[in-house]
Every structure is written in structure tokens, then in C-alpha cells.
């Protein structure tokens, strides 16, 4: 994740937003890409001021909603054979076992599997194509798709942005004096524990000597 964040930091903000939308959009179409990793890296990057969190969230939500909708259309046209072909091409991510679990989720939650699936790696990839292949009504799909995309994108972005800003502020407040004190305290406690352990070991050895002498 650090490498992704470092790579994104070298790009103009507009390009970062396009990458966020593009990667998440393609992932939502049914292609296994690290969409969440890109979002997390971009949100943490926003905490440093390189990009704006609101635009990261907007890009992620737009990519998620558009990608899921395209995946729905492709799945509705290609049906289950399309999902099986994807499974053969990406067996580690979309194999028969993954497809079966995704179908169970749809059987249990219906269109709202799209909403909940936005927070689960497997369903995030399969939700759109699978909803189309199972002929879920598009209006119900779009409602769940938009709700899930917005909550996931804005919630993840602002949660990580807030955590990142708090961590950065906390690290800036640590002075060199505090760091030296912490190091000395650590060394002192280590020395004390070692000395304590040595004394206990010496005491146990002294207690054992009379017993041995009596036995002789």
C-alpha cells in the first residue's frame, strides 16, 4: 500500500481522481483489480494535503456506480456463461466456489446484496454482473448500487482521512525531548527487569544449596 501511495503522490491530483474512478469502475465491472487498495491509498494521501478528500470520494462513488451498472448490463446480456468464463480466466478470484457464495448472498438478500457487497471484496467484483445475469430488476439494482457506492466511497474516504490527519498531528507533537525520555525509560525498565530476574535466579540457587547438601 505504501508503494501505491508513493506512486500516486507523484501524479497531479486530477490524474489521481481519474485513476481512483477508473480502477474502481473496472473492478466493479467484474475484473479483479485492487480498487479498495487504491481508495485507501488515495484517502491517506488526502490526509497529507496532496489531494482533496471530497474529490477522492466523488471519484470512487462515480466509478463504483458506473462500473456496477456496466457490469449489470454485461451480465444481463451474457448471463451465467459469462460468469463461468470469467471464473475460468480468474480462478483465484472468481472460481466456482466464489460464484456459488455470491449466488447464495443474492438468494438471501436479493438486490440489497449489491449494497452489502460493496463492503465485501468478492461481491464488490461480482455484484453487477451477477445481478444482471440473475435478471434483478434494474431500478432495484440501481437504488442498492447507488446507496452502497456512496456510503462505501464517502465513508471509507473520510474515515481514513480523519485517522490520517489525527496520526499526522500526533506525530508532529512529539518533541525530541519526549523521544529521548521515552528511549531512556525503555532502557531503564529493561535494565531493572534484567536485574530483578538475576536476583530471583540467585535467590532460587541459594535456596537449593541446603537441600543438595542435606541430600549428600
Q: How confident is the model at residue 65 (pLDDT cuts 50, 70, 90)?
A: very high
Give me the chain's average pLDDT, please.
78
Q: Decide: 29 and 71 in contact? Cβ < 8 Å.
A: yes
Query: How do residues 155-197 score in pLDDT, each as one tens digit?
Result: 999 988 888 777 655 544 544 444 455 556 656 666 665 666 5
Q: How confident is the model at residue 48 (pLDDT cuts 50, 70, 90)?
A: confident
State the pLDDT at residue 175: 46
Count of CB atoms situated within 10 Å of the CB of 22: 16
State the pLDDT at residue 131: 87
State the pLDDT at residue 112: 81
State the pLDDT at residue 100: 79
State the pLDDT at residue 58: 96
The predicted model gives 128-139 an average pLDDT of 86
The predicted model gives 193-205 an average pLDDT of 59
pTM: 0.69
Determine the Cα–Cα distance for residues 121 and 108; give it in Å rounded to an integer. Answer: 18
Of the given ranges (56-60, 71-75, 118-122, 173-177), which has the lowest mean pLDDT?
A: 173-177
State the pLDDT at residue 147: 93
Q: How confident is the model at residue 134 (pLDDT cuts 50, 70, 90)?
A: confident
Q: 83: closest CA among 126, 121, 32, 138?
A: 126
Determine the Cα–Cα distance for residues 60 and 35; give it in Å rounded to an integer. Answer: 9
Q: Strand, coil or helix: what is 101?
A: helix
Q: 128: closest CA among 61, 60, 31, 200?
A: 31
**Of the spans 7-21, 57-71, 94-108, which averages the highest pLDDT?**
57-71
Amino acid at each position: 500500500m505504501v508503494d501505491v501511495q508513493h506512486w500516486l503522490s507523484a501524479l497531479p491530483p486530477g490524474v489521481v481522481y481519474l485513476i481512483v474512478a477508473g480502477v474502481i469502475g473496472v473492478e466493479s465491472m467484474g475484473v479483479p483489480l485492487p480498487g479498495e487498495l487504491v481508495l485507501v491509498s488515495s484517502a491517506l494521501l488526502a490526509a497529507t494535503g496532496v489531494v482533496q478528500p471530497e474529490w477522492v470520494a466523488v471519484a470512487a462513488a462515480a466509478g463504483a456506480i458506473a462500473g456496477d451498472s456496466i457490469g449489470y448490463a454485461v451480465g444481463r446480456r451474457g448471463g451465467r456463461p459469462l460468469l463461468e468464463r470469467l471464473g475460468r480466466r480468474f480462478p483465484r478470484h472468481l472460481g466456482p466456489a466464489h460464484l456459488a457464495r455470491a449466488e447464495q448472498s443474492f438468494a438471501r438478500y436479493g438486490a440489497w446484496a449489491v449494497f452489502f457487497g460493496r463492503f465485501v471484496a468478492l461481491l464488490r467484483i461480482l455484484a453487477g454482473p451477477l445481478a444482471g445475469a440473475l435478471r434483478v430488476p434494474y431500478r432495484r439494482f440501481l437504488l442498492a448500487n447507488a446507496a452502497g457506492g456512496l456510503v462505501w466511497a464517502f465513508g471509507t474516504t473520510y474515515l481514513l482521512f480523519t485517522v490520517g490527519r489525527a496520526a499526522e498531528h500526533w506525530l508532529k507533537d512529539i518533541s525530541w525531548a519526549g523521544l529521548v525520555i521515552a528511549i531512556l525509560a525503555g532502557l531503564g525498565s529493561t535494565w531493572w527487569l534484567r536485574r530483578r530476574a538475576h536476583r530471583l535466579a540467585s535467590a532460587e540457587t541459594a535456596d537449593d544449596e541446603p537441600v543438595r547438601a542435606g541430600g549428600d
